[in-house]
Structure 1
Amino acid sequence: MKLKAVLFSIAGIVVVVGLLAGAKVLQISTMIKQKKTATPPPEVVTTFQAKQQRWESLVTAVGSLEAVQGVTVTAEVTGKITAIAFEPGSRVKTGDLLVQQDIAAETAQLRSAEAAVELARITLVRAKKMLATKVVAESNYDNAEASLKQAQAQADNIRAAIAKKTIRAPFGGRLGIRLVNLGQIIKEGQAIVSLQALDPIYVNFLVPQQQLPLIRLGYPVRLSSDGLPPGRVVEGTVTAINPDVDATSRNIRIQATVANGDEALRPGMFVQVAVVLPENIPVLTIPATAVLYAPYSDSVFLIEAAGEGSTGKMVRQQFVRLGERRGDFVAISSGLKPGQTVVSTGVFKLRNGQSVVIDNTLSPEFKLAPQPEDS
């Protein structure tokens, strides 16, 4: 009896488990069928109509700034510094005194040399008068003249030594950080201070040899840099083109001159350079946010009718080839035609053939030269 009861219990459990499993399989099968037949709700999108624009034709490059005149002022001879006549970071004019070395010995020697020059001059005048009356021989007059020239040369030599120890600005410009101290003995060639003429300033950049025919002297250039206030662009002019092409890189060096009255540009700064060519180029443009970027190919989503008899809209993925990007826009080299409507934002949420609803009330304003407030 006990055995029969156990068997009946096991059979009952098996039946219950089978019923539960069957119900679960039926539930899962029903859910799969519903998922296959279900259609997601339309996605709300913003749109933009591809249009032709004329963009400035530019040759872009990376440049480096260089002072029109720039040197590190150094000592010509060894000597002790007795005076420093400049403030670091100040402006100086041509000939302004920067550093005075000890010239006490040379000053004393100069007084002696000037006295010798004066004596030789008096002797020459006397000899000239006596030669006129035939009191002295002509050779005595020649000796007196030679002695005067020797004395003058000796005095000039001492003055040159004093000038070498009197260090002056070779040209006007902006001084840098002082590298010497009062009382210090500096040696020949030792750096004293950097001096840079900042207005105007040069920008040097390289372009490939195939772009050389596009650039001419006098063409305008525009500079931008993260070292300038946001949105500021500085203009200049192409002033020099190297006559030779670098044999290794096949690039040619070009130099432009830029006004720099406020000295915002400094030598050594990295800048973005754009040479403005005289002719504008026609391009087909869409917002850069309309492009779904991918390693294999970039694409956009075109707005099309959902089908015959339907008033709805759907999207079709279209592969495109991109050109230059400027501001909020990107040029389309191939894959689109003027007037075609593309989804302008949120393309990463879409798939080919998906239903959409157009709502451009929240569409952003696309600009060719945007100036973000937080940039």
Structure 2
Amino acid sequence: MKIKAWIITLIVIALVLFGLYSYKKNLMSPSAEASAGGFEPAATVEATETKMSVFQNTVQVTGNIKAPQQLILKNELAGKITGLFLTSGEVVKKGQTLLTLDTSNEQASLIAAKARVTLSEQTLKRYKNLVARNEISAELVDKATSDLAIATSEVMSLNTRIDKKTITAPFDAVVGLHDLTQGQYLDGNSQIADLVGVTDHLWVEFSLPQSFSELAMNETVMMNSSNGLALSANIIAVEPVLTSQSRHLKYRAQFSVKNNGIKPNSLVNVVAPISDVENRITIPDIALTHDQFGDYVFILTPEEGGQGSYRAQRKQVTIALKNETDVVLKSGLEEGQTIATLGAFKLHDGMKVFIAKAVKTAEQ
């Protein structure tokens, strides 16, 4: 019997609490307040008008800076350095002598080779006179002619070796760091120094996946360097084939080097266009709200006779691009609509709203 009494008591208490809760809820509802002439909750927010802006979708990739003229200077033949005329960091002119190697052996051999040429010429001349008088056979003339050709080629070969031991600048360039000294012996194909051509432009090379449309010749891309510079470059060449491993297409763009301090082999961020230019609605990032149903904003519609008040209408939107300050939309809004910005997170659908500041237009 005691248990039954306790159960009845608990049921009565629950019914009383539920009745009190329902009564309080009815008193606090907006409809009850409106019918009773009470206060309706409202929020104050800032707002802006939606506007069109020029939009082009882009992608950011890493690019490598290259000099149009750059090489590692090497010697073809071995020898001792007899003349060193290049200083690290200096500018040299095309054709300027940079380094000479010992040619004493070649010079000595050249004297003997020239003597053999002279002797062969004289012998050939004498044999021609004799064969004209039928005093010797034509075979001797042929042999003398061959000997002269061999001696002449030996002279040419020695002159070529001597020339190769004098290394000159192939173009106007800045000399890289080196540690060569006069009298040092260099093996064949030794690295002498880097030469970087002196030009008024550099190249940036980068690759894009084959899923993107191919960039056109002379199309402009933007670069952001590590020193904070933003530069533009124009496409001057496109690789005719995709890379075999990543299936990327390689591009080369050219830009001016005037006062930008960018060095060859630097890495930069390249921003390349991957869509056509079009007009899209752009809104401040602060106007965008997100929940489990997606991205949305609140459109503010003026109330009739509301003395400057608005009603909030939740509107789903689709994002095309988002950065730190702005959002470019694919769909959801039209130009000229008033939307909540600062304070939009406080709103819900149908809520009464007041605008704290004047609506900002595109011209403002």
Same fold (TM over 0.5): yes
| Structure 1 residue 143 corresponds to structure 2 residue 140 | no
Residue 233 (structure 2) aligns with: 235
Contact persistence 1:207–1:252 (CA under 8 A): yes
| Structure 1 residue 331 corresponds to structure 2 residue 331 | no
Residue 194 (structure 2) aligns with: 194
Question: Which amino acid in structure 2 is aligned with residue 339 of structure 1?
Answer: G
| Structure 1 residue 226 corresponds to structure 2 residue 194 | no
Q: How far off its partner does 1:85 sit?
A: 1.9
Contact persistence 1:92–1:173 (CA under 8 A): yes
Residue 206 (structure 1) aligns with: 207
Contact persistence 1:325–1:331 (CA under 8 A): yes
Q: 1:140 to 1:287 in 2, by over 3 A?
A: same
What is the CA deviation profile of residues 267-301 of structure 1, one whole-angstrom value per residue up to 9, with x for unaligned ones?
32223435568953221112345445789855545
What is the CA deviation profile of residues 15-42 of structure 1, one whole-angstrom value per residue up to 9, with x for unaligned ones?
xxxxxxxxxxxxxxxxxxxxxx999996
Residue 14 (structure 1) aligns with: none
Q: How far off its partner does 1:154 sit?
A: 1.8
Residue 247 (structure 2) aligns with: 250
Give me the whole-angstrom Cα distance separating, in 1, the residues matched to 2:182 and 2:363: 60
Give me the whole-angstrom Cα distance separating, in 2, the residues matched to 1:329 and 1:116: 85
Q: 1:76 to 1:88 in 2, by over 3 A?
A: same
Give me the whole-angstrom Cα distance separating, in 1, the residues matched to 2:344 and 2:353: 15
Unmatched runs of 5 consecutive residues or more in structure 2: 1-37
Give me the whole-angstrom Cα distance separating, in 2, the residues matched to 1:226 and 1:141: 73
Q: How does 1:1-375 map to 2 (within 5 A)?
A: 43=44, 45=46, 47-56=47-56, 61-197=61-197, 198=199, 200-212=201-213, 214-216=214-216, 218-227=217-226, 230=229, 232-243=230-241, 245-258=242-255, 260=257, 264-275=261-272, 279-291=276-288, 297-305=294-302, 309-313=306-310, 318-325=315-322, 329-344=326-341, 346=342, 350=346, 352=348, 353=351, 355-359=353-357
Question: Which amino acid in structure 1 is aligned with residue 223 of structure 2?
Answer: S
Unmatched runs of 5 consecutive residues or more in structure 1: 1-36, 368-375
Aligned residues: 326
Question: Which amino acid in structure 2 is aligned with residue 234 of structure 1?
Answer: S
Question: Which amino acid in structure 1 is aligned with residue 165 of structure 2?
Answer: K
Question: Which amino acid in structure 1 is aligned with residue 264 of structure 2?
Answer: P
SS of the residue 1:116 aligns to:
helix
- Percent identity between the two aligned chains: 23
What is the CA deviation profile of residues 184-207 of structure 1, one whole-angstrom value per residue up to 9, with x for unaligned ones?
222223221112345554332222
Q: How far off its partner does 1:332 sit?
A: 0.8
What is the CA deviation profile of residues 66-119 of structure 1, one whole-angstrom value per residue up to 9, with x for unaligned ones?
333432112223322222222333444443322212222222222332233233
Give me the whole-angstrom Cα distance separating, in 2, the residues matched to 1:119 and 1:366: 95
Contact persistence 1:96–1:169 (CA under 8 A): yes
RMSD over aligned CA atoms reads 4.1
What is the CA deviation profile of residues 299-342 of structure 1, one whole-angstrom value per residue up to 9, with x for unaligned ones?
54544447973523576665533213579643112333322223
SS of the residue 1:114 aligns to:
helix
